[in-house]
Each structure stands twice: as structure tokens, then as C-alpha cells.
Amino acid sequence: MEITKNSRPCLVDNETKLKSIIDLTANKDYVLLTRTLIKKLKNIQGVHKVNLYEVYGNIDNKSTKKLLLKDVLDILSTLIPFYQRVKQYPSPEQIKSENYQGLLRNDIQQTVFPIHNIANAQRILVIDWQNINPENWSYVLSLLKVYSNLLKIIDEKDRDQLTGLLNRHTFDNNLENIINHSKLQSKKARNNDKNSWIAILDIDHFKQVNDKYGHLMGDEVLLLFSRLMLSEFRYSDILFRFGGEEFIIVLTGCDRKGAETALNRFRKTIETYRFPQVGKITVSAGYIFLDSIQSPNTLLDHADQALYYAKETGRNKVVYYNAIASILDQVSHINNIEIF
């Protein structure tokens, strides 16, 4: 129902406020927590629209036109230009440090709230509203404080603390959704040009880095490696630190040539980059098409076999599982004969 200037404001009662806090704190999942927050905000009289986004791009850049947004409620949602959702083009400084408010149309206002957290991801809450009572605004701000505090706890669970990338826990919880998304892409795609691929990357001889330079320098290599990943791959690709020196990348919306090109481009970037004190390192990768027919465990096993093959045949290379599957079958057959 649209609220007009003459409408009598409906204040949120204390019982509702308490229940909202209870409902928020009951969530231990990022998406579920965000969904609960948005639901509570939409129930406030005068609120027209609520969205929470992750901001991609260099937020220190002077132009917001170079920023992209991804809806928090969907890890695989399509990224959209910042200015398509935030109409008044606030400066990056406003996004980072304070609320921003501008007029949309008629009496509809839009307020952008930065969500401060410890993760690399910068988040903003965007509310389109009209004639919200000041007491209800206080309620909105209280919900955001609770949300931000809970988000810090969840980020510690869902994100790798060293690199800020999503961790193995988050990967395991989202793999089924990623596979289903790949299946949907394949049905819609023409000429097999919009599929998803999963790659496992492993830093070559990383144990030697730790042994020679110490674990602090090893952590520095991992941090720089992850930052290069963030700069080299598209914002639509999903990056995980799987554990130790192993990383996973989900490449979306591309054919095999595009996936291999992206992986090799990153491999060459790592090869030519000079890490402080350590110098040159290399990376090996194995990847596979995210076939929805295969079980998640099978897909990971195949990608891991491709990675292992890359390491066993010289390292510093990218290997597609299907390209070496027949070789692996022959080796397996020979080994079975030797056993008997």
C-alpha cells in the first residue's frame, strides 16, 4: 500500500522490535540472515523497496559508474551496473563512510547504507521509502547494527580469514546450487557458449616457500596470490580458498576456450609476478565442465585428477580433465591388471 503525506504513521511496537531481533539472531547463514533483515524492513510502513548488494570494483575510484552490484540473496546472480540501482550516484566516499539520501520521484526517497564488516566484500543496503516516522528510522538503524554485528560472526565462518575469499565451508554449502545453475545455463545456451566450469588451483612447491622463508612469508604469498585472483578473474566468477595453498574458481557464462584462456592468463600472471623475497612461483590447475549429471564428489575428484596430472607432468600448466580422461583410464586398467 502506498503511503501518502496525510497517512497516519504506524509505529513499530516494542514486541515486534524484540521479535525482529530474535529472528535475526536465529540465523547462522549469510543469505538467510539477509533475507530475514529485508523481510523485517519491508514490513515497516512507508518502505517501498529494499535490496542488499555486494559492491564489486575499486570502491576508492572516483567514478561509481565503474562499480558493479550483486544481489546478496543469490551467489550466482548477474552483476548489474551500480547506477541502475542507486539512482543519485553518491560518491565512493559517501558509500564507504555515511548514509546517502536522494530523491527518486515525487515523494519517494532513496537511502544507501554502508554495511561495515571485516571481509573484503563491501556491502550496501538500498531502501526506497516515503514518509517513514523518525522512531521507525531508529528501528531501521538498530536492525542494521544487529545485522552488521551478526555479519562479522558469519564472515568469520564463511570467509577465509587470511585472504577474505570464500572458504571451503561456503563452497560445500553452495556447490549444489552452483551445479543447478550450470544446468540451467546449459539449457539456455546456444553453441555451448554459456556454461560453468570448476577449476582447482594449487601453488607449486609451496611447502618449500614455508620451509625456506617461514610461514609469515608463506601467508604473504597466499594473500598476494588471492589479490591477483581477484584482479584477474571476472566479478561474475566465484573464488574460494579451499585450504592451504589450494584454491577453487567457478567460471560462469563461458565456453571451454574461454575458461582455459582465463586460467592460462592467470597462470602466466603468477609466473611473471615477483613475490617479495620469494621471487618467482608458479601455479598448476585442473578444471572440468560442471556437468549436472555427475555427483558433486565425482566432479571434484575429476578436477583434482586433472590438477594431479598437471603436477605430475611438469607443473605450471592448466589441464582439462576430459582431455586426459582416456590416459587416466589406461593407467587405471594397467594398475588393476598388476594387482591381480
Hey, which residues are catalytic here?
245
Alpha-carbon span 327 to 333, nearest angstrom: 10
Alpha-carbon span 126 to 114, nearest angstrom: 9
Asked if 240 contacts 198 with a C-beta cutoff of 8 angstroms, the reply is no
Q: Which residues pair with 188 in a beta bridge?
A: none
**CA dist list (Å): 83 to 35, 67, 298, 331:** 23, 8, 41, 55
**Cell triple for 37:** 533483515
Question: By three-state DSSP, how is residue 27 classified?
Answer: coil
Sheet-wide strand order for 108-115: 80-81, 68-71, 47-56, 122-129, 108-115, 100-105
| Cβ-based neighbour number of residue 28 at 10 Å | 12
